[in-house]
Amino acid sequence: MRRTPLASVAPEGASPAPKLVASQLRRMRRIVDAAVELAEQGGFEAVRLRDVAERSDVALGTLYKYFRSKEDILLFAFDEGVTRLEQSLAARPAVGEGPLERVSAFFRRATRGLLRNPDLGSALIRAMSGSDRETAVQIAASNRRIARMIVASLRGGSELLLAPLEKFQPSADEFELADALTGVWFAALIGWVIGAEPDSAAISRKMRSAARLVLEGPRFYSASPGEREG
């Protein structure tokens, strides 16, 4: 799995974190990489903090100075994945003849990337199911970035992704659409974790259907009774 440098402790859009010196950043990098490697090999259950500390050559007490839990580390790794997806979309925007095709292309890319390693993908998704306030704040920050990518795909082009996140001001309709599709996506991902969705292709098909319903409305109710029966 490709790594990215740690710029700060807080993800984009979250509250600013204290600047860390180079040695602290290297220590954090080792911790995150060790947790990701364990997750890649055995999923969520394989990420035990004592094992993470041993693999990263960091004392367990020191690890707790940077992260509260294994969920905290995995959420940090998820946020790094969001950063890579943003960079990918900025370089190669989702393509398609209209908003539906572009949004569908975005979710295909996002789903394939997240589930490329099934054990890691499952661990990241399970880490997002926490209910404490700190986890909710982290997920909300990531969701805002995902919403920006959805809106960028709706509009076409990459200009929106090149501006600071705080300048992202979608219209009410764009916000509602992005919020709805993000909710469907995470529900489908959780369904995949528990076996209700077979693979990333099934999730991508579900997201296309959801995007079509949001953008075009349900065809069943827009058809005449005769057309529905036919």
pLDDT of residue 8: 40
What distance in Å separates the CA atoms of residue 18 and residue 212, rounded to the nearest whole number? 43
pLDDT tens by residue, the chain, 230 residues: 444 445 444 445 444 445 678 889 999 999 999 999 999 999 999 999 999 999 999 999 999 999 999 999 999 999 999 999 999 999 999 999 999 999 999 999 999 999 999 999 999 999 998 768 888 888 999 999 999 999 999 999 899 999 999 999 999 999 999 999 999 999 999 999 999 999 999 999 999 999 999 998 876 555 555 544 44
Q: What is the CA radius of gyration of the chain?
A: 19
Q: What is the pLDDT of residues 55-103, one digit of tens each?
A: 999 999 999 999 999 999 999 999 999 999 999 999 999 999 999 999 9
pLDDT of residue 149: 97
What distance in Å separates the CA atoms of residue 145 and residue 33, rounded to the nearest whole number? 23
Are 104 and 204 within 8 A, CB to CB? Answer: yes
In words, the CATH class of domain 70-217 is mainly alpha
CA distances from 53 to 4, 19, 38, 71, 85 (A): 20, 22, 11, 15, 28
Are 39 and 52 within 8 A, CB to CB? Answer: no
Instruction: List the chain domain ranges.
Output: 70-217
Tokens of 120: 């890691």
pLDDT of residue 71: 94
pLDDT of residue 226: 53
pLDDT of residue 132: 80
Q: Which is nearest to 193 in space by CA: 111, 135, 119? A: 119
pLDDT of residue 7: 42
pLDDT of residue 155: 95
pLDDT of residue 9: 44
Residue 188 sits at the vertex; the CA angle it makes with 184 and 189, to the nearest 5 degrees, is 120
pTM value?
Answer: 0.85
pLDDT of residue 105: 97
